[in-house]
Amino acid sequence: MAIAPPAALPAALQAYRHVDSGAQGLAGTGGTAGAGASFSSAMSRALAGVVETSRGAEQGAMQAIAGGGDITEVVTAVAKAELALQTTVAVRDRVVQAYQDIMRMPI
């Protein structure tokens, strides 16, 4: 099992807390359906955030190529997009692993 480097943990925790704070508003219904809906909503918002971060990095890179924009901002935006993508891939891997573990359980 791979553990994220300490430098990536605060950013990942902050991102999770941001997504989770939005999900708490939806989880007031209680029960399994509410939990499923809030998890689904949280995942949708997280993926939308990853896409938006990637678009921002892409736009910044295009501005830098065109001669405008600050190179430091471009590098920062690309690093944020890379971290968001790595986090998304890690979550996907954990979900797939959990599914495989469930499927291997004896009935």
The model's pLDDT over 69-87, given as tens digits with 9 standing for 90+, comes to 788 888 998 999 999 999 9
Average pLDDT score, the chain: 77
Give the predicted TM-score (pTM) of the model. 0.58
* pLDDT value at residue 23: 47
Report the distance separating Cα 104 and Cα 91, nearest Å.
20
Question: How large is the average pLDDT for residues 7-29?
Answer: 55
**Residues sharing a CB contact under 8 Å with residue 12, sequence separation 6 or more, in sequence order:** 4, 83, 87
State in Å, rounded, how far the first CA of the chain is from the last one: 26
Domain boundaries, the chain: 48-107
Provide, rounded to the nearest whole percent, the portion of the chain with pLDDT above 70: 66
